[in-house]
Structure 1
């Protein structure tokens, strides 16, 4: 039985990065990945990179076929680059098998026929197997030939004239924006009574208005009951009516991928099926770690990268970096225009008992909007009235995906809002809006 210093199950962002670092320290490393299409992990192959490439194409006046072709080229290039980066390292062995735990220390490698071909072990083991789509119990889901998950919808051979999206979360909204830009008629079916419930009410309303103005049909308080294929199309039946469509996207969330025979170990799962970890990402077995989406929480590739930093510090450093001190975490919803946020909304700050100051700036008040030819959007910030520190920001508008990182930095470094207010910015830019956004009347 081959024994390695470090065994990593999954080729995701955090796993591949710790593999390369450990190898540079002279450790023997095994990276187990069952699918050649997943070298580099979810983000590169079926998540952020392909979906945002397709979205970017939708805004460049190119056809859907051209967008899919460019997306495919980008993914193939990055997939190959990631494989070569590890495979060409003398201290790393890439093993193309399905991994199953035999014990706390041993991992069985299975071929496509689910036959055990080898058993390996590691001084330390990292679970980095990501997440998979949630498939709801809806009549017709398993048999419809017009139904796709978020991976399949990006590989369509032909653009659908009509698309029904089941689910109204952020992934659903991003695909709704993308396909609408390409000219597809989009209907979003959401079971709750509102969209973007975690966001600022005023900004969420702006988003829904803008997307509705673009032609997207939102159907709320709707339970999807049945999907029935017809000759050349399908019908989605809901509690709010039936909808004929050429394609259906299931966007009902993702769940941790823990198909690893963990019952053969002492690794415990949480109430949502995630691998339970402590603040240093150790599981309930001290030499086994979990990072990325499989451990639950926010499903972002940059979280997986920061998970790498935590595990690196635990294995090779002083062990002081934890999930508790990684700072504020920003995110962007790539709709059109994008919505970006970090920290608290005003409502959340008040709920926590904070005395706050806030300010709002419509994008049509920012000079750069004339250059962009896009007046849509609204920026908001929330300030602690006692300390002048920034509690949060929600930026809905062009280039917000870049601007939000400046606010994150200010929050993490305890920079008073006046510094952003009085800073000199280049012109004409979107970031110069901070001069006005942070000009808060007390």
Structure 2
């Protein structure tokens, strides 16, 4: 891209319209400053288009199919086994995405932000060149620049993997036919959500995981329990497996060969989904022209205020190495907003809460300290644990699998961490987070009068019993 002789001057430039980027652009523009945002593919970023919300839409469709099938099996519905039309599942997802795109387009039009479709590349610390969607070239400059370019699915250099044209989370959401046998590389969040959804929609599913168990960063009791639940739905797991070669083509026939626990391993299937990590979108941005440093893993190097090594340039979200959740990207926006506004005390990434939810059924939700981390770091704690069947609402739903547990300080009764594997677990996080953020003792939740019968009622039971010393 060739630069124009004189850059167009803005108060702020944002590269990428994902959660952090869009909110920052709207916030700065609302103060009367001149703001431009450059986006190369999806208005609003990946979350409303090809990631968080579309995947949960498909997961919900799969849950409907699963419930209908079980209702027929149990005799509650007197009809033949329901058949799934994946084209309808896809259209339901597409309709939702169209609505979200329209919402974002309206928000940008009303914000005063100049939205520019195109590819951006830095040519100097405060200057970018944009090759626009209509094949024109513009040179833009600003004193404040925010990099919000996100990440993409990692496809590693395993021989034959790229040539097999595997699915990622993007392509699998566009399928109009159910895979005969879906093989998934990776037993993390993306892999497990799609494993269950596709199994419920009618596909045979196999999950190949290099570690000795799925969800390697979760407590072992969580990983083991969820594995058992998913196995009962017919999902096959192959842990401790390394793949050395891929042959064939996804959508036709594929074969993976390698070793499992040092023994020869081979698996064949009709489709291959790669869900084995994320790669930051920092290549091709020309950051070498800016003084912006990268980490060894390719993320933009930032401090606790998300400042890069180049003054006036910030990075937010996945590309900055923040935990890969939309709600964390939104917190990144708050950090940069408050820093630019000079608001005190400043927010920062230091010791912030990082809640998350895995949207399998049952859901897995967590915030704070885990048992594995407590043991590893020698942090003393007391434990309160309760099976989800004692969250009485789960009995009305017929979804009593799982449990909830909380780590309690041994000195001041504060909640150190909370994990739930159960129906609606993600909705249980907020009251626990609030108690943790306010530094309240666990008894503050145990003493609440909670509506019966709600899922939250179980929290009162969990936090009313004296925790056991570990």
Superposed, which structure 2 residues align to 1:379-390 within 5 Å?
A: 379-390=404-415
**Residues 360 and 380 in structure 1, CA contact (< 8 A), matched pair in contact too:** yes
- Alignment of 1:74 with 2:80, yes or no, is no
- Alignment of 1:21 with 2:27, yes or no, is yes
Partner of 1:120: 140
- Alignment of 1:198 with 2:217, yes or no, is yes
Superposed, which structure 2 residues align to 1:54-65 within 5 Å?
A: 54-61=58-65, 63-65=85-87
**Residues 275 and 296 in structure 1, CA contact (< 8 A), matched pair in contact too:** yes
SS in 2 for 1:160: coil
**Residues 39 and 80 in structure 1, CA contact (< 8 A), matched pair in contact too:** no
**Residues 58 and 64 in structure 1, CA contact (< 8 A), matched pair in contact too:** no
Distance in 2 between residues matched to 1:350 and 1:225, nearest whole Å:
34
**Residues 332 and 339 in structure 1, CA contact (< 8 A), matched pair in contact too:** yes
SS in 1 for 2:162: coil
Partner of 1:253: 277
User: CA-atom RMSD, angstroms?
Assistant: 1.8
Choose the corresponding residue for 2:336, options 311, 315, 328: 311
Superposed, which structure 2 residues align to 1:171-186 within 5 Å?
A: 171-186=190-205
- Alignment of 1:4 with 2:23, yes or no, is no
Uncovered stretches (5+) of structure 1, i.e. residues with no partner: none
Shift of 1:112: 6.2
Give the direction of change, closer, same or farther, for the CA distance of 1:220–1:20 in structure 2 (3 Å limit). Answer: same
Partner of 1:105: 126
Shift of 1:344: 0.9
Detail structure 1 runs of 4+ shifted over 6 Å in the superposition.
none
Shift of 1:88: 4.0
SS in 1 for 2:11: strand
**Residues 245 and 258 in structure 2, CA contact (< 8 A), matched pair in contact too:** yes
**Residues 344 and 391 in structure 1, CA contact (< 8 A), matched pair in contact too:** yes
SS in 2 for 1:335: coil
Choose the corresponding residue for 1:359, options 373, 384, 388: 384
Shift of 1:360: 1.3
Partner of 1:42: 46
Distance in 2 between residues matched to 1:316 and 1:273, nearest whole Å:
29
**Residues 327 and 412 in structure 1, CA contact (< 8 A), matched pair in contact too:** no
Shift of 1:321: 2.5
Partner of 2:75: none
SS in 2 for 1:322: coil
Uncovered stretches (5+) of structure 2, i.e. residues with no partner: 1-6, 66-83
Shift of 1:139: 2.0
Distance in 2 between residues matched to 1:178 and 1:414, nearest whole Å:
38
SS in 2 for 1:102: strand
Choose the corresponding residue for 1:406, options 431, 437, 441: 431
Distance in 2 between residues matched to 1:77 and 1:238, nearest whole Å:
44
**Residues 354 and 384 in structure 1, CA contact (< 8 A), matched pair in contact too:** no
Partner of 2:105: 83
Partner of 2:460: 435
**Residues 316 and 322 in structure 2, CA contact (< 8 A), matched pair in contact too:** no
SS in 2 for 1:323: coil
Distance in 2 between residues matched to 1:103 and 1:130, nearest whole Å:
21
Per the normalisation by structure 2, the TM-score is 0.89
Shift of 1:75: 1.2
Shift of 1:63: 4.3
Distance in 1 between residues matched to 2:313 and 2:413, nearest whole Å:
42
